[in-house]
């Protein structure tokens, strides 16, 4: 899931300077789970904006704000409305998908934080940094890129103290976790696997995947 957090409201208000009539677009999936772009969040945003001199002229919550076709359909609701700007209450991907479908300024109300797991309602753990070459098959299902503060792929830095990371002692050392997990799985031999350093020169942004074109 893409984890988002609300921006400070002053930031959004600064972006909205000069805009009076505003449309709100949320997301029925990740941003709803993150409590940043679901029905309740849009209702609260509407109340705040209207108490602060804006007029909310329409709202939409596509099931997923990153789905171009879904968003295109939802944005038709704004077509005949007099709108100065859209506030997108999804992730950065959603904001761009909305922007692709309207000839209006689109302002994000959220910061997009990471790809994460839902531990429980309202608690999220960063899990994958989308490196494009997954190595967790040799690391006991634990991502060294994300869970090690230095993203080391071939073992620990040696700085851990009492099993905690030297960079952020709130976290367990990823490589101790990886070692323990491999022992548990009877795969200790994998600790010695040499993994290629993560050079990010192998691709340039933006990346594209097309199943149809086989790439």
Q: Is 173 in the site for ligand SF4 (CB under 6 A)?
A: yes
**Residues 29-58 close enough to bind ligand SF4 by CB under 6 A:** none
Q: Return the range that interacts with ligand SF4 (CB under 6 A); candidates 8-16, 47-55, 97-105, 155-163.
A: 155-163
Q: Return the range that interacts with ligand SF4 (CB under 6 A); candidates 16-24, 76-84, 125-133, 187-195.
A: 125-133
Q: Is 193 in the site for ligand SF4 (CB under 6 A)?
A: no
Contact between 144 and 178 (Cβ < 8 Å): yes
Contact between 75 and 97 (Cβ < 8 Å): no
Distance, CA of 191 to CA of 175 (rounded, Å): 9
Q: Is 129 in the site for ligand SF4 (CB under 6 A)?
A: yes
Please select the residue that binds ligand SF4; options are 166, 180, 190, 193, rule is CB under 6 A.
166
Please select the residue that binds ligand SF4; options are 70, 104, 157, 191, rule is CB under 6 A.
157
Q: State which residue, 105 or 155, has the beta carbon closest to ligand SF4.
A: 155
* SS3 category, 5: strand
Q: Which residues contact 183 (CB under 8 A, 6 or more apart)?
A: none
Q: How far is CA 75 from CA 52, 56, 65, 208, in A?
A: 25, 15, 11, 24
Shortest Å distance, C-beta 83 to ligand SF4 = 38
Q: Is 21 in the site for ligand SF4 (CB under 6 A)?
A: no
Q: Is 149 in the site for ligand SF4 (CB under 6 A)?
A: yes
Nearest CA-CA partner of 12 in 60, 45, 59, 55: 45
Distance, CA of 41 to CA of 61 (rounded, Å): 11
Q: Return the range that interacts with ligand SF4 (CB under 6 A); candidates 67-75, 91-99, 168-176, 187-195.
A: 168-176
Give φ, ψ of 79 to 5 degrees: -55, -45
Residues within the interface to ligand SF4 (CB under 6 A):
128-131, 134-136, 143, 145-146, 148-150, 152, 156-157, 159-160, 165-167, 173-175
């Amino acid at each position: 899931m893409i984890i988002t957090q609300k921006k400070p409201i002053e930031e959004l208000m600064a972006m909205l300077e000069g805009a009076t009539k505003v449309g709100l677009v949320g997301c029925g999936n990740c941003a709803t789970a993150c409590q940043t772009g679901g029905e309740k969040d849009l209702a609260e945003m509407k109340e705040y904006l209207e108490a602060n001199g804006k007029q909310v002229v329409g709202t939409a919550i596509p099931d997923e704000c990153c789905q171009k076709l879904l968003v295109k359909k939802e944005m038709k609701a704004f077509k005949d409305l007099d709108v100065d700007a859209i506030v997108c209450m999804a992730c950065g991907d959603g904001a761009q998908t909305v922007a692709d479908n309207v000839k209006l300024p689109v302002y994000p109300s959220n910061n997009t934080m990471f790809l994460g797991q839902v531990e429980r309602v309202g608690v999220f753990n960063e899990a994958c940094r989308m490196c494009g070459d997954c190595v967790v098959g040799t690391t006991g299902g634990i991502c060294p890129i994300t869970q090690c503060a230095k993203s080391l792929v071939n073992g620990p830095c040696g700085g851990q103290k009492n099993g905690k990371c030297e960079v952020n002692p709130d976290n367990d050392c990823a490589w101790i976790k990886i070692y323990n997990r491999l022992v548990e799985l009877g795969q200790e031999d994998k600790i010695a696997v040499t993994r290629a350093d993560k050079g990010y020169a192998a691709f340039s942004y933006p990346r594209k995947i097309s199943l149809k074109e086989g790439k």
